[in-house]
Amino acid sequence: MNAPVVLSRSFIVIGAILAGLAVMVGAFGAHALSDQLVGRGKEIWETAVQYQFIHSIALIIIGILLLLLTTPKLLRLAGFSFLIGTILFSGSLYLIALLSVKNLGLVTPIGGLFFIVGWILLICAALLSTRIRA
């Protein structure tokens, strides 16, 4: 099995796992943590879930596009940007909402920056691809 296929499969599997976790974490926050998430905690938790969900789907799409477009390096970088962004952005928001750790608020924008870079790389990959692979 060649490297693009392995990476494609990995991005699809990781994206699906993160999407499934987003469903579980969202339900957990809405039901089990409803009394613990005080103040803006519930809103922060929901934002983390939403961004995790969006970028999980984006990661799955990157995995599919790796098999189709002729720009695997850009797609690979976009995928890793989405993955790192999800860990930093959503992860820090979960901890802020649950533990009220304000210092982690410095990590959140770094995760957001990874998201932005990932979207820019995806745009470049689509625009620079010379053809769709057969």
Kindly list the domain boundaries of the chain, sorted by start residue. Answer: 3-128
What percentage of the chain has pLDDT greater than the value 70? Answer: 99
CA separation for the pair 123, 91 (Å, rounded): 25
**pLDDT grade, residue 2 (50/70/90)?**
confident
- Quickly state the pLDDT bin for 102 (edges 50, 70, 90): confident
Q: pLDDT (tens digit, 9 = 90+) per residue, 30-79? A: 888 878 887 888 999 999 999 999 999 999 999 999 999 999 999 999 99
pLDDT beyond 70 at 82: yes
| Tokens read off for 94 | 């979960």
Query: Could you give the CA distance from residue 47 to residue 53 in angstroms, rounded to a whole number?
Result: 10
| 3, pLDDT greater than 80 | no
What's the gap between Cα 96 and its chain centre?
18
Tell me if the pTM is above 0.85: yes
Residue 19: which pLDDT band, with cuts at 50, 70 and 90?
very high
- The Cα–Cα gap between 21 and 28 comes to 10
- Work out the pLDDT band at 110, boundaries 50, 70, 90: very high
Q: What's the rounded Cα separation, in Å, for the pair 133 and 122?
A: 17
Amino acid occupying residue 22: A
Average pLDDT, the chain: 93
- Is the dihedral angle over the CA atoms 18, 23, 26, 32 positive or is it negative? negative
